[in-house]
Every structure is written in structure tokens, then in C-alpha cells.
Amino acid sequence: MLVPLHRAKADLFRTLGHPVRIRILELLLDGPHPVRELLAEIDIEASSMSQQLAVLRRAGMVTSEREGSTVTYRLSTPEVAELMAAARALLTRVLTNQETLLADLRTEHGDAEREQAYGEGAGADGTEGRHEDEVSPTP
């Protein structure tokens, strides 16, 4: 039985749902790495590394090559690198938007604190009402 396309996509993204797997893919963006180098960069047990690499291999995101006792991993296709680049671009945009919202919130929170400290309508300097440079409207 064929897996529906949306299910296959969900499985692909689920593969990316573990921080160690993301880190492995990031390291492999620079080219092939032996498992020992991956272990040196990512502080986890060898058995955990093996499990995470197996998940990536089953998903078709990485391939391995054995030479003697050394097993080297690489990204399976350029599309994996493109996917990682797209994820980085999306995350950058999301975090930038969050930073903008955070700055707005801090500004708003600062205004609310001043109002609470000095009374409603207080200026940043704690003065009530109009500032010197404001002109009152003519009746």
C-alpha cells in the first residue's frame, strides 16, 4: 500500500525533529565526516549517535561508506543542503519577527511601567500632561 504524500512529508519533517539529527546534518553540510569526527563535535554516546545516523540513513538524507574500521557519512543529495538552507532562512525570518515583537513588547512594557509609576498620561520624564514643545489647541 502506498503512503499518502502528506504522510511521507510528515515523516520527512519528523526526521528533522531531533536536535542531534539537525546538528549532524549541519556538520555534513561542510562535507563528509567520519563518525569519530561527528562524535567529537556532538557530545553524545556512540550508541546514540549510531541511532540518530540510522534514522537519517533510513530517511534517505545521508549515506555511509565504510573504509576499514572508519565509517564516513555524507549528505545523500544536494536537496538535503537546500532543505537545511531553507530551514535556516525561515528560522532567521521567524526569529527576526520575534525580535521585532519583543522590542515592541519591551517598549510597550516600559510605557506601561512609566504610566503606573507616574500616573496615567505621564511622560517619560514623569511630568504630567503636555511637554514644553506641545502647543495647546485654540478653542
Q: What is the pLDDT of residue 131?
A: 45
9 and 20, same domain (yes or no): yes
68 and 88, same domain (yes or no): no
46 and 82, same domain (yes or no): no
pLDDT above 70 for 123:
no
Q: Tens of pLDDT along 71-84?
A: 999 999 999 999 99
Question: How many CA atoms, within 13 angstroms, populate the side-chain half-sphere of residue 111?
Answer: 7
- Global confidence as pTM: 0.70
Highest mean pLDDT among 5-9, 64-68, 93-97, 133-137: 64-68
72 and 82, same domain (yes or no): no
Q: Would residue 45 count as lying in a domain?
A: yes
How many domains does the structure of the chain reveal? 2
9 and 72, same domain (yes or no): yes
41 and 100, same domain (yes or no): no
Domain carrying residue 102: 77-118
Q: Would residue 50 count as lying in a domain?
A: yes
* Residue 54: CATH number of its domain: 1.10.10.10
82 and 50, same domain (yes or no): no
Residues 6+ apart with CB under 8 A from 80: 25, 61, 62
41 and 88, same domain (yes or no): no
> Residue 114 carries which side chain, given as an amino acid letter?
R
Q: Give the mean pLDDT of 53-69.
A: 97
pLDDT above 50 for 130:
no
